[in-house]
Amino acid sequence: MAEPEATRVRGALLSVSDRAGLVPFASALAARGVRLVATGGTARALEEAGLRVTEVARLTGSGEFLDGRVKTLHPAIHGAILARDTPGHRRELADRGIEPLDLVVVNLYPFERTVASGDVPEAEAVEQIDIGGPALIRAAAKNHERVAVVVDPARYGALLEEMRARDGAVGAALRRGLALEAFRRTAAYDAAIAEWLGRTEPADAWPRRLAQVWEHARSLRYGENPHQEAALYLDPGAAPWRVVGGEGGEGKALSYNNLVDADAAWALVEEWGRPAAAVVKHASPCGAAIGADAPIAFHRAWGGDPMSAYGGVVALNRPLDLEVARVLAAPERFLEVVIAPSVEPSVPGWIADRVRWGRNLRVMEAGEAPPDAARTVLRRVRCGVLVQRADLPRGDPPWRVVTRRAPTEAEASELRFAWRVAKHVRSNAVVLAAGEALVGAGGGLASRLDAVEVAVRKAGARARGACLASDGFFPFADGVELAATSGVTALIQPGGSRRDAEVVEAADRHGLAMVHTGVRHFLH
């Protein structure tokens, strides 16, 4: 049987927890002569608005029971939704005294919002697991050859416009599109429940099937390159970074690369409780520092590599106020994005009015980070998805002095700083630090010796007296030899090479202090 182009809406079932726009929508349906059927709370809301509505209990002959857990799971409801427009199905409905329903409007109990805080009692969360709602949605979506299903109040307008254009009917294309949205919604709902139930699994347990659904938040200006389309999707219950200035109007919209760099910069400044700033370009730190306050930290971070920092993304782990903005806004600088935990309301306008590039600077608030335990890293490969736990542990690394000379107190401080930065530089990563500021970095290189060469070249004269961190072991002594001749005085690295003895001997020969951590921080 060929699918009809359009089916007229004569009966609608409404059962919603989110009642935004409900009454105007239902009123528009009633004005077209659509018979309204609704569950208890939804029915009461419509009756209070003066609309004529039939409560589900009247159709089923059974009121809600088990504290409302059972109300729509009944043949009189599901038969009205699942019946196809065939002579046999029409006859069966007539024999049972059931009138078909052509429109199902359901949004689910707010389970995701309930568990988003992370500290909700289990019994309360369980009660927000909707049973009847997903069953109604899936029944309507399955029968989309006849039935339209709406799961989001934002779609009310499109449905009413369709019915106006088709004299009360809904076309096949829209029904199919709504069915797709419906199945995606129930899939996301089930995935959120599964993720919540799985929170007590052992940390090293991987589920047999990984169910993860993200919600579209915004389209982006472009992807890694202008010919690539891109969008941002959010984890269930997550709040997006809030753009508070620079986007829209004359300002540029965010791109994929902007968000990648912002994420990298924010992850770096999260390493410290003290005021910290980071400058990232092409996902690589070209500046990082801690200081007595945010302006000092930023000034020192920018000084790490001012040429590379130009047009970069800046993260601060302190609020962005006018004092910091005045430091950011120096005429010789150009920034794409600044992200901070909060932004003083006057800052975006102040920058836009006083800085020639200020209207193109996107200013964002990071807000609360998700719980560390829930953070995983996913990467798409040709055959599927690679999943790993995020490299989250912060704080001082394990510490074993392997040279004759131990680091001085000042060197130890620099080594700890450099080690945290190295974790955020693409491997092979080598970082030079002085005064708790990044002065040179080499990363994303196939040879660790090349990484040392780039780091010391970037540092220049500042390499003399600096301390070095390497995200992986030195496979040969050549990297240590180069660091020593460049003026580096102390090194921190994981150790574990077959030539560790040669590497340590080279360090001793040059009077360097070296620490092994036994921990590697590759970032591919």
Could you give the residue numbers annotated as active site? Answer: 142, 282
Lookup: tokens for 371: 């719980």
Please answer whether residues 316 and 301 qualify as being in contact, where contact means their C-beta atoms are separated by less than 8 angstroms. no
Residue count of the chain: 524
Token pair 């919600």 in the structure block, residue: 215
Largest CA distance in the chain: 97
Please answer whether residues 1 and 86 qualify as being in contact, where contact means their C-beta atoms are separated by less than 8 angstroms. yes
Name the amino acid, one letter, at 97. Answer: G
Name the amino acid, one letter, at 154. Answer: A
Q: Which residues of 304-335 are buried (b: 16+ CB within 10 A; e: fewer)?
A: bbeebbbebbbbbbbebbeebbebbbeeebeb
What is the DSSP secondary structure assignment for residue 128, as one 8-state letter? T
In the chain, % helix, strand, coil (3-state, to 5) comes to 40, 20, 40
Distance CA(56)–CA(133), nearest Å, equals: 13
Phi, psi of 5 (to 5 degrees): -65, -40
What is the DSSP secondary structure assignment for residue 358, as one 8-state letter? G
CA distances (Å), 144 to each of 87, 176, 177, in order? Answer: 18, 6, 9
What is the DSSP secondary structure assignment for residue 284, as one 8-state letter? E
H or E segment to which residue 440 belongs? strand 438-442
Distance CA(481)–CA(503), nearest Å, equals: 9
Closest CA to 488 of 464, 461, 509: 464
Helices (H), 63-151: 75-82, 87-96, 111-115, 122-127, 132-142
The 3-class SS string of 152-211 reads CHHHHHHHHHHHHHCCCEEEHHHHHHHHHHHHHHHHHHHHHHHHHHHHHCCCCCCCCCCC
Phi, psi of 516 (to 5 degrees): -105, 140
Distance CA(503)–CA(510), nearest Å, equals: 11
Phi, psi of 219 (to 5 degrees): -85, 150
Q: What is the CA radius of gyration of the chain?
A: 30
Please answer whether residues 272 and 420 qualify as being in contact, where contact means their C-beta atoms are separated by less than 8 angstroms. yes
What is the DSSP secondary structure assignment for residue 337, as one 8-state letter? E
H or E segment to which residue 376 belongs? strand 376-381
